[in-house]
Structure 1
Amino acid sequence: MLPPERVFVNRPGLHIVLGLCLLSACAATSTGEKGRTVRVRLDSAQLASAHEGERHALLIGVSQYDDASWNDLRFPGKDAEDLGRALADPRRGGFRSVTVLNRPEQTTRAAVLEALRALAAKPWRPKDVVVIYVSGHGTLARDSRGDLQRYLVMRDTRFRDVQGTGLEMAALERELEALGSRRRVLVLATCHSGTGKSLLPPSVLDELERTKAAFLPRPLEEESRASLVLSASDWGEAAREDDALGNDIYTHFFVEALDGRGDRNADGAVSATEAHDWARRHTWTYTQGRQRPSVRMTEVGADPVLLSGALTQAGQPEVFSYSPRLEGFTLKVDGVDAGELPGGVALPEGKRKLGLHKGGQTLWEDTVALRSGERRALEALLREFVEGRRRTVTLEAGLLGFLDARSRREVLPSTMLVGAGLRLDGLLLEQRLDVGVDLSVGQGHQSLRLDVGGTVPVRHRAVMLGVTVGPSWEWGRLRVSTGPRVAALWLQRSFQLDLLNRDESYLTVWPGWMAGVSWRLGTRWVLEAKGQLLWAYVPMDGRTRAVGFGGLLLGGGYRF
């Protein structure tokens, strides 16, 4: 049995400090409750570098409590020992050292803070990895600023003074962030819903009971500064331990993943996100959807945090997302559901059609070439897609004419136009303004009314070249744009009578305003409608007239 002290595994070249905080507030029944880039290719040098540095773990299990308000728990100490045994095993984690704190004298607030300070005193290098694991009660309380925060309940935490005697989660994350390593993991599995054995102070409980929101507000510390924050349950849910498993449910499957079953891309090693995804899926199934482990990450790229095994090959390509913005979306690969986000999947090498869908709507679809060893973040692919499709070419048709009816009858009828346009999104002022250029031509053959009575047939032609600059806004598939416009207009009138055969033409440049609306049919095709108002001085019938023009254009476009 792994002793509740530091365990050293002599494996040169491996020094990872893993910081997993599993907060388990568990009931005393058979099932208790405890209160989810940049494009990357891993070449051989990068694969080898993933095992550089050292690995260390600090694992804390709090089972007994001085204050009778906190019910004692059964498995936190065993959770820490079981995870420590897997991490220390040379055939699995191969950690250089694993420290387990689960005796009563080791789980006071002062003892845990001392252990964290000792951890921070190590000479950390960027390629080292840190894991801190805490299994015990969790609760909510107001901090000194009056903000609602989550707290770890230590052995000596007093129910009536959580702020002064508990360990604030945000403080733990700050300690982890201060380490010199770039590979940091913090796992939180606290029952922050206030159910089960994760009790809440009366003042907080009373406030939450009077809150009409469907979900509790997330504390400020939810957006952790650490690299990875893994949680055994989602916000507002209870984490559970189970007699049949003899562990916290999430911890059981997390440890299970480290024996190689969590290696989804078959590269020989199990990363932190792979272990979490394995535990997340199995915890969801085991609890019949009542417990949904979650993840937050801020620094994940070419350097996955490896917890078990050794990289023996590049492995299959992976696509993943742990972004809260994509939570709940379904990932489709070649038209087949690959699972709901957050999470990741391993795919065969080659071109794959990926898509994000939610509520019957398609957010994004694109064909992506995947190579062996790549890890592609979906939010980065989505950003590349959006940024790579800032150009839209449209074919348009519509009418241009004088605003007043008298000018249309006596000077120039409305002219049918056809043309093309090019819009460059986010071209000016730090991507705040779009620029559009369009060219339209048209002609017609109608009759004009003469001042002396009667009508005269006239053929007319028009060529318009315009430039529009302005902002745009998007709501889902709908896009609205507007802005000032400058257009050059060439007009020609041809009178063909027995006694009069004369052509009149002129060129003018005039200012105006344009507004448009478009609707995305898919990832590339759009429908557009644009209206414009223009003001110009036009020489007609021997005198210059100040006139207003209006136009309406309808068309379809292609984004690239």
Structure 2
Amino acid sequence: MLSPERACVNRPGLHVVLWLTLLSLSACAAVSTGEKGRAVRVRLDLAELASAHEGERHALLIGVNHYDDESWNDLRYPGKDAEDLGRALADPSRGGFHSVTVLSRPEQTTRAAVLEALRALAARPWRPKDVVVVYVSGHGTLARDARGDLQRYLVMRDTRFRDVQGTGLEMAALERELERLASRRRVLVLATCHSGTGKSLLPPAVLDELERTKAAFIPRPLEEDSRASLVLSASDWGEAAREDDALANDIYTHFFIQALDGRGDRNRDGAVSATEAHDWARRHTWTYTQGRQRPSARMMEVGADPVLLSGTLTRPGQPEVFSYSPRLEGFTLKVDGVDAGELPGGVALPEGKRKLGLHKGGELLWEDTVALQLGERRALDSLLSELAEGHRRTASLEVGALGFLDGRSRREVLPPTVMAGVGLRLGGVLLEQRLDVGVELVMGEGRQSLRLDVGGTVPVRHRAVMLGVTVGPSWEWGRLGVSTGPRVAALWLERSFQLDLLSQDERYLTVWPGWMGGVSWRVGARLVLEAKGQLLWAYVPVDGRTRVVGFGGLLLSGGYRF
């Protein structure tokens, strides 16, 4: 056991449970390189930050190198990885943990010994603001539980290959032990994976089943389905991680420990958080392995103050934006038009207004200008939700031409008229947010000639006002949008005949049913250009007779989403 002196530092705080998975697989081959199997806004002054991070930090680190069952190949560096991580966490100049316990000897790494160590950990007088880090490095595998469901298991020293269910440490059991802790700041570090190579040896029957199973139905890591708020992985699911003799560690863990000396302090607040350490290790692991190992992360929720693994908060950090969402994986984040990195991950930015954009394959998914302040952490997922939920209203200025489709009505009732006006579209307001409602008010006037049955061609001044309402769905593909739906329009029409012997005004008010369709193009985060066509069935009284004729038009608009 490493027992560092108590350090008078502000301790990490988090109001939700954080689970941290670092999947790092070690191979046993005697080669130099082997394979191993909503927006959160923070505006706190320094005193508030210090108060939020009070509490003690404790760690239990387990490394399993050797196995009784020869079916599990012995590993090279799990014990050393646990020892190296323990020294970093115990060092007063880095982690400053109050206690660090390392279990790496054979008698300490049996299933019973590990469960006993976890229960002893739970017996401590934990406080909600205390931090506990549990690290396990060794083989992992998949096996069926008592109900026949495929589950993840950690392989202890005495786990038997033919009886994983009865002798292995099920992830659910480990999770239950951690849930007994009174601390609300729990970090689980699993240096194991289950891809079927290296540390993640799988029974032949399981391998055969996985090979015949579609990828979408392969069991995901248990941590991804738990109540975890944060899941970090040394490699992507189904991908082998690596260790290296030159580093004498597995590659990801080497760089993760390296981040704790301060190099991972991305936002320059004096401390290294779990996500900062992961992002540092992710970038360097990717480079070191020439893209063969892709550390990944899954984040469902992040509290206002992340878990700090090293250092002391001395000042509010630079603003940060981040995403660990699977749906944004592979997107490039641009800041003020410059590439800031590929997601998942986070970046620290200078405070002030910054133009953020998400790009993939040359296409722009999202772009907006965001005001960022010191100590602020913004989740890109939440910003996208704000765009989806908040920017569903569009106010527009519209101009176009409306008129009757048949020549007789254009000659005798109303010539084509240039119209201008305003529009408002409310997105997702009906039928559980499936239908939009659009309202347009346009008007126009002109002086032309009409051909009447009596009197021949006569000059006429006309005015028209149309109020239309459209209800229907809309779809968006990147910048392109399409909308359609039934429409009802009310038309007020005034005609003034100016003759030498006759001065007569006629006024009509009628309501027409019809249909409208539109195509839009998003210029930026809020500016939209749209073309809308409409077709109405018009009932027009002329000279005491009612005509049923077609009426249509085209409107061009420029809108602002808010």
CA displacement at 1:290 relative to structure 2: 1.1
User: For 1:238, which of 237, 240, 260 is the aligned residue?
Assistant: 240
| TM-score of the superposed pair, with normalisation by structure 1 | 0.89
Name which of 13, 33, 57 aligns with 2:59.
57
**Equivalent residue for 2:135?**
133
| Distance in 2 separating the partners of 1:171 and 1:547 | 74
2:26 match:
26
Provide closer, same or farther for how the CA distance between residues 508 and 253 of structure 1 changes in structure 2, counting only shifts above 3 A: same
Partners of 1:205 and 1:47 lie apart in 2 by 49
**1:481: which partner in 2?**
483
2:439 corresponding residue in structure 1: 437
In structure 2, which of residues 6, 18, 23 is the aligned counterpart of residue 10 of structure 1? 6
> Offset of 1:390 from its aligned partner?
3.2
Amino acid at match of 1:94: G
Report the CA distance shift for 1:20/1:40 in structure 2 as closer, same or farther (over 3 A). Answer: closer
Q: Deviations over 1:356-397 (max 9, x none)?
A: 221112222222222222222222233334444333232323
Note closer, same or farther for the CA distance 1:171–1:360 as it changes in structure 2 (3 Å cut). Answer: farther
Task: Write the distance in 1 (CA, Å) between the matches of 2:113 and 2:408.
Answer: 90
In structure 2, the partner of 1:525 is 527
* Letter aligned with residue 272 of structure 1: A
**Cα contact 1:525–1:558 (8 A) shared by 2:** yes
Hey, what's the Cα distance between the residues in 1 that align with 2:48 and 2:485? Answer: 49
- Asked if 1:110 corresponds to 2:106, the answer is no
How far does residue 190 in structure 1 lie from its aligned partner after superposition?
2.8
Q: Separation in 1 of the partners of 2:465 and 2:224?
A: 59
Q: Distance in 2 between matches of 1:175 and 1:296?
A: 22
Matched residue SS, 2:132: strand
Q: Is the 8 A contact 1:495 1:501 kept in 2?
A: yes
Paired position in structure 2 for 1:312: 314
Counterpart in the other structure of 2:364 = 362
Given that 1:468 and 1:484 are in contact with CA atoms closer than 8 Å, whether structure 2 keeps it comes out as: yes
Structure 1 residues 317-326 or 217-226, which shifts more? 217-226
2:72 is matched with 70
Deviates further, 466-475 or 169-178: 169-178
CA contact (8 A) 2:319 2:372 kept: yes
Greater mean deviation of Cα atoms: 277-286 or 452-461: 452-461
Aligned partner of residue 71 in structure 1, secondary structure? coil
- What SS does structure 2 have at the residue aligned with 1:281? helix
- Listed as ranges, the gaps of 5+ residues in structure 2 are none
Say which SS state the counterpart of residue 266 (structure 1) adopts. Answer: coil
Aligned partner letter, 1:42: L
1:446, 1:203 → 2: CA distance? 85
Instruction: Answer yes or no: is the 8 Å Cα contact 2:234–2:296 preserved in 1.
Output: yes
Give identity over the alignment, percent: 85
Give the AA of the match of 2:304: A
Structure 1 residue 170: Cα displacement: 4.7
Task: Spell out the pairing of 1:336-485 with structure 2 (5 A cutoff).
Answer: 336-402=338-404, 406-427=408-429, 431-444=433-446, 448=450, 458-485=460-487
Cα shift at 1:9: 3.9
- Does structure 2 conserve the Cα–Cα contact (< 8 Å) formed by 1:521 and 1:527? yes
Residues 251 and 532 (structure 1), Cα distance of their counterparts in 2 relative to 1, 3 Å cut: same
* Match 2:505 to one of 503, 506, 511: 503
Q: Deviation at 1:463?
A: 0.9
Q: Secondary structure at the match of 2:65?
A: coil
| Equivalent position of 1:40 in the other structure | 42
Deviation digits for residues 125-163 of structure 1, max 9, x if unmatched?
332222111111122334455554433222222323334
Separation in structure 1 between the aligned mates of residue 544 and residue 459 of structure 2, nearest angstrom: 19
Structure-2-length-normalised TM-score: 0.88
* Cα-to-partner distance string for 1:102-121 (whole Å, 9 max, x where unaligned): 22232223332333333344
Q: Contact 2:12–2:52 (CA<8 Å) still a contact in 1?
A: no
Which residue in 2 is equivalent to 1:265? 267
Aligned to 1:276, the other structure's residue is in SS state: helix
Contact 1:189–1:239 (8 Å) recurs in 2:
no
Please give the secondary structure, in 2, of the residue aligned with 1:195. coil
The one-letter code of the counterpart of 1:478 is L
Distance 1:177 1:324 in 2: 26
- The alpha-carbon deviation at position 452 of structure 1 amounts to 8.0
CA distance in 2, matches of 1:153, 1:31: 23
Which residues of structure 1 form unaligned runs of 5+?
none
Q: Secondary structure at the match of 1:68?
A: coil
Partner Cα separation in structure 2 for residue 106 and residue 331 of structure 1: 45
- What's the secondary structure of 2:294's corresponding residue? coil
Q: 1:480 to 1:171 in 2, by over 3 A?
A: farther
Report the Cα offset of residue 429 of structure 1. 6.6
Tell me whether 344-353 or 86-95 shows the greater mean CA deviation. 344-353
Superposed displacement of residue 220, structure 1: 5.8
The AA in structure 2 aligned to 1:150 is R
Structure 2 match to 1:182: 184
**Counterparts of 1:187 and 1:401, CA distance in 2:** 69
Q: Is contact 2:224–2:231 with CA below 8 Å preserved after alignment?
A: no
Residue of structure 2 in register with 1:327 after alignment: 329
Conservation of the 8 A alpha-carbon contact between 2:19 and 2:230: no
| Larger displacement relative to structure 2 (37-46 or 207-216) | 207-216
Q: Which segment is superposed worse, 51-60 or 387-396?
A: 387-396
Given that 2:21 and 2:223 are in contact with CA atoms closer than 8 Å, whether structure 1 keeps it comes out as no
Contact 1:34–1:138 (Cα < 8 Å) also in 2? no
Cα distance, 1:272 vs structure 2: 0.8
The alignment of Structure 1 onto Structure 2 pairs a total of residues equal to 555
* Counterpart in the other structure of 1:515: 517
Q: Distance in 2 between matches of 1:498 and 1:350?
A: 69
Q: Mapping of 1:271-310 within 5 angstroms?
A: 271-310=273-312
Asked if structure 2 preserves the Cα contact closer than 8 Å seen for 1:186 and 1:228, the reply is no
Change over 3 Å in CA distance of 1:341–1:23 after alignment to 2: closer
Q: Deviations over 1:428-452 (max 9, x none)?
A: 6765543333211123555555558
Q: Aligned partners of 1:559, 1:234: CA distance in 2, in Å?
A: 37
**Contact kept? 2:393, 2:425, Cα under 8 Å:** yes
Is the 1:239–1:291 contact (alpha carbons within 8 Å) kept by the matching residues of 2? Answer: yes
Once residues 145 and 439 of structure 1 are traced to their aligned partners in structure 2, the CA distance between those partners, rounded to angstroms, is 64
Distance of aligned partners of 1:22 and 1:66 in 2 relative to their CA distance in 1, 3 Å threshold? farther
For structure 1, which segment, 75-84 or 125-134, has the greater mean C-alpha deviation from structure 2 after superposition? Answer: 125-134
* Distance in 2, Cα, partners of 1:279 & 1:139: 24
Give the deviation of 1:174 after TM superposition.
5.2
- Structure 1 CA distance for aligned equivalents of residues 555 and 21 of structure 2: 59
1:161–1:24 CA distance, 2 compared to 1 (3 A): farther
Q: Distance in 2 between matches of 1:125 and 1:473?
A: 50
Residue identity in the other structure for 1:10: R
Residue in structure 1 matched with residue 545 of structure 2 by the alignment: 543
| Distance in 2 of aligned mates of 1:21 and 1:441 | 62
Name the amino acid aligned to 1:39: R
SS of the residue 1:278 aligns to: helix
SS at match of 1:207: helix
Question: 1:454-477 deviations in whole A, cap 9, x for unaligned?
Answer: 665554331112233444332322
Matched AA of 1:248:
D
How far apart, in 2, do the equivalents of 1:142 and 1:446 lie? Answer: 84
* Whole-Å separation in 2 of the counterparts to 1:559 and 1:10: 54
Distance 1:477 1:499 in 2: 58
Q: Which amino acid aligns with 1:555?
A: S
